[in-house]
């Protein structure tokens, strides 16, 4: 991206929504020399080391590299990241496990488990340092587009003139609504129950996922407690009524049911943190580009968490956007023609991914006899075909199209004990 001639707008870009995706977008655009405003409805809570955020993400290597390019990886990895070196996926109905192993894939790690609040906290600080103008707390209330720019109205009464609007305001996006973009999708009738659990054996820097008829149960490795206890973050996809019941039962009962459902190699489950649950659905915006408005992250696509790709797809929207603007240097950053190629690529990746997770959920989260018979064997079969395992992993890691393979070695986070 380069500076263009006489500026007729006070801003190049207005980003609405300062979750992980929006803050990364604002930071990236500012680092490219653009004038950027970031509008956020709520001041994000500060990250605190002794109060881990229940919402964690498995960040893929290409997005680790993006955070590095944005200058945010060092402060994040210095605070707390948990590398994972293996993934093991198996079906409760039997059959072999599908295993992804860093050594066999020639990698030091497959990705990192990072708290949502930590990501937002450090990206937010970097965005401020990079000169992003924050409007917080404030909300977008109006949006109009002209031939050469867009006007954004805020609840505070301010009006911003810009060339590009980035809607990163989450699943219930107001930006999407204001530009009249509809969504389609379906509810999975499930909720994702999240918590931290302490266990007697080390997690071996491994993500464990067991498919159960009601939905997948994942144990994601996390830093040990200050007392040295092994700890993992769980994401348990459950039918809504089951999730509601398991939010209510006492800790002992919860741990007993969790232990039965997991049946995994982490030993006894001894303690559980507070629990929370979020609704699961597939939701795709009909388009991610409407004039000078682009939709990124959950504003454009909400997917099942079974592949840990939700936030990764959103960060890929951002990486692609930054590349598109860099490739076509100069000129009008919000010109729709300039964003068309970005849009085709991202929409295709997001749509294929959302439907693939949908298919996996349909096959694995059900008790019909045929899928039950086949699915364990399918996992085992995939696991016995190294080229297929490698191809699957490269896709999940964002390396299928030659994406970067991670942050620079010197700035990579250190492994925490399980």
- Tokens in use for 43? 């001041």
What is the DSSP code (8-state) at residue 32? T
CB 203 within 8 A of CB 233: no
Nearer to ligand FAD by C-beta: 293 or 372?
A: 293
Question: What is the maximum alpha-carbon separation in the chain?
Answer: 67
Nearer to ligand FAD by C-beta: 305 or 376?
A: 305
Nearer to ligand FAD by C-beta: 20 or 27?
A: 20
Write down the least CB distance from residue 300 to ligand FAD, Å.
Answer: 8
DSSP H helix total and E strand total for the chain: 11, 20
Nearer to ligand FAD by C-beta: 98 or 166?
A: 166
User: Which residues contribute to the site for ligand FAD (CB under 6 A)?
Assistant: 16-22, 39-42, 55-57, 139-140, 168-170, 174, 192, 194, 235, 278, 297-298, 305, 308, 310-311, 314
Write down the least CB distance from residue 402 to ligand FAD, Å.
Answer: 25
Q: What is the DSSP string of 366-411?
A: ---HHHHHHHHHHHHHHHT-HHHHHHHHHHHTT-TT----SS-GGG
Nearer to ligand FAD by C-beta: 57 or 211?
A: 57
Rounded Cα gap, residues 56 and 137, in angstroms? 24
Write down the least CB distance from residue 91 to ligand FAD, Å.
Answer: 21
Nearer to ligand FAD by C-beta: 309 or 389?
A: 309
CB 46 within 8 A of CB 222: no
> Dihedral, CA atoms, 178, 182, 186, 188, nearest 10 degrees?
-30
Write down the least CB distance from residue 265 to ligand FAD, Å.
Answer: 22
Write down the least CB distance from residue 201 to ligand FAD, Å.
Answer: 23
Write down the least CB distance from residue 18 to ligand FAD, Å.
Answer: 5
Q: What residues have CB less than 8 Å from 366, skipping those under 6 apart?
A: 213, 372
């Amino acid at each position: 991206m380069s500076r263009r001639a006489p500026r007729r707008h006070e801003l190049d870009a207005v980003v609405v929504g300062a979750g992980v995706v929006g803050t990364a977008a604002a930071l990236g655009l500012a680092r490219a020399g653009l004038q950027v405003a970031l509008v956020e409805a709520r001041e994000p809570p500060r990250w605190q080391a002794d109060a881990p955020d229940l919402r964690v993400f498995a960040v893929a290597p290409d997005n680790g590299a993006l955070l590095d390019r944005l200058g945010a990886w060092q402060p994040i990895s210095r605070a707390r990241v948990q590398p994972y070196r293996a993934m093991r996926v198996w079906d409760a109905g039997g059959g072999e496990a599908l295993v992804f192993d860093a050594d066999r894939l020639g990698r030091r790690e497959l990705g990192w488990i990072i708290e949502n609040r930590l990501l937002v906290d450090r990206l937010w600080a970097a965005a401020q340092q990079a000169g992003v103008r924050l409007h917080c707390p404030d909300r977008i209330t109006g949006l109009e587009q002209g031939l050469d720019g867009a006007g954004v109205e805020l609840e505070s009464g301010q009006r911003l003139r810009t060339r590009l609007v980035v809607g990163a305001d989450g699943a219930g996006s107001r930006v999407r609504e204001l530009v009249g973009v509809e969504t389609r999708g379906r509810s999975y009738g499930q909720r994702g129950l999240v918590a931290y659990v302490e266990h007697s054996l080390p997690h071996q820097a491994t993500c464990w996922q067991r498919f159960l008829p009601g939905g997948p149960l994942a144990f994601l490795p996390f830093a040990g407690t200050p007392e040295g206890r092994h700890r993992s973050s769980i994401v348990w996809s459950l039918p809504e009524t089951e999730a509601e019941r398991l939010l209510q039962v006492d800790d002992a009962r919860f741990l007993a049911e969790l232990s039965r459902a997991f049946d995994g190699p982490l030993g006894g489950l001894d303690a559980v943190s507070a629990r929370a649950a979020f609704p699961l659905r597939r939701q795709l915006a009909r388009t991610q580009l409407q004039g000078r408005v682009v939709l990124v992250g959950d504003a454009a696509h909400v997917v099942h968490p079974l592949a840990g790709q939700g936030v990764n797809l959103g960060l890929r929207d951002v990486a692609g956007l930054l590349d598109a603007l860099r490739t076509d240097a100069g000129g009008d950053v919000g010109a729709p023609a300039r964003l068309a190629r970005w849009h085709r690529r991202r929409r295709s990746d997001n749509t294929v991914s959302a439907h693939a997770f949908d298919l996996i959920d349909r096959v694995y989260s059900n008790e019909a006899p045929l899928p039950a018979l086949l699915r364990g064997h399918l996992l085992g079969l995939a696991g016995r075909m190294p080229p297929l395992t490698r191809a699957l992993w490269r896709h999940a890691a964002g390396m299928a199209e030659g994406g970067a393979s991670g942050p620079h070695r010197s700035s990579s986070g250190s492994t925490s004990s399980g």
